[in-house]
Structures are given as structure tokens and as C-alpha cells.
Amino acid sequence: MPSLTEQIECWLKEQLIRSRENILEIKRSELAQEFDCVPSQVNYVLETRFTVERGYLVQSRRGGRGFIRIIKLQMDLPEQLQLLRDSIGASISQGQAENILLHLAEEGLLNRREKRVLQAAISRDNLKVALPLRDMIRARLLKAMLLALLGE
């Protein structure tokens, strides 16, 4: 018997596929009711199964007419992305990061404008945070930005 988390994960992916779209909008409380669990269980599923790393974007709004939106990123370059994720890891230096950008630019996956933006975001002068932390923030940002870019 699959765990609750897996059931919800499956159901959401099913909906995503069935709707033939890459966007799914749900109500947290309704979904929770459907699976007879607490609403925060939905957050757990989203946090562990629908991460940027796995190719999903999650947006939400609170309050009246609130919602949760799950967006499946189209990854036409899965192996490249996998490679990127691996080479970035949990922490990365500015030099390493710049090498990656260079490489991607050479491959034509990044235009000049885009490269400049990424470059700005990973620069130590702009991050201005002390060192163990800085490389970790840079890694997270770089991964998220590249996924946003390359995942359709």
C-alpha cells in the first residue's frame, strides 16, 4: 500500500497529464478533504515531490480565493539538466559557476542578455554574504535560475 504522500503525488501527476496542460490548480483544503488528511500534508507532498529540482514550480496565494498552482517545466534537455544539477551541488564557487555559464553560452543555450543576468546574480559583490553561506546561496540560485531558463 503506497503511502499517503505517494498517493497524493500520483494523483497530482495524473491530473497534470490528463489535463494535457502543464499547469494544475488546486485548493489545498479540498485536496486534503479528498484524501482525508490534514491540509499541511499537501504542503509536505509539494515540498518533497514537486521541487524545482524535479522539474516543477509551485505557486500559491492565501486568503479569499486562494489556490495552489503546480507547473510542470518542460525539460527538453533532461540529461543536460541532470548533469548541471550534479555539477552544481549544494555549494559552488563563483569561478565554477562562471565556467558553467560560459559553457552554456557556448552551447547557445544562453543568450548574451541572459548570461549577463545570471552573471550578476552569482557575483560575490552582489551577494555580499560571508563565505560558507555565499557559495550555498549561489548554488541554490544558479540551479533555480537555470531550471527556469532551460525548463521551457
Return residues touching its own copies (CB under 8 A). Answer: 2-3, 52, 64-65, 113-114, 116-121, 123, 126-129, 133, 137, 140-141, 144-145, 147-149
Q: Give the one entry of DNA, its own copies, none that residue 37 binds, where binding means its C-beta sits below a cut-off of 5 to 8 angstroms depending on kind.
A: DNA
Q: Which is nearer to its own copies, 20 or 128 (CB)?
A: 128
Judged by CB under 7 A, the chain residues 100 through 139 that form the site for DNA are none
Q: Where are the beta strands (DSSP E) in the chain?
A: 23-26, 56-61, 67-72
Binding segment for DNA (CB under 7 A), chosen from 14-22, 38-46, 81-89, 100-108, is 38-46
* Paired residues of 71 in beta bridges: 23, 57
* Residue placing its CB nearer to DNA in the complex, 58 or 121: 58
Sole binder of DNA in the list 12, 52, 68, 118 (CB under 7 A): 68
- Beta bridge partners, 142, equal none
Q: Which residues pair with 60 in a beta bridge?
A: 68
Determine, following the binding rule CB under 7 A, whether residue 69 of this chain makes contact with DNA.
Answer: no
Kindly state the smallest distance separating residue 98's Cβ from its own copies, in Å.
11
Total residues in contact with DNA, by rule CB under 7 A = 28
Joined grid coordinates for residue 102:
560560459
Question: Based on the number of CB atoms within 10 Å of its own CB, is 92 exposed (0-12), middle (13-18) or buried (19 or more)?
Answer: buried
The SS3 assignment for 105 reads helix
Interface positions, 7-36, toward DNA (CB under 7 A): 26-30
Torsions phi, psi of 61, nearest 5? -140, 140
Query: Could you tell me how many residues make up the chain?
Result: 152
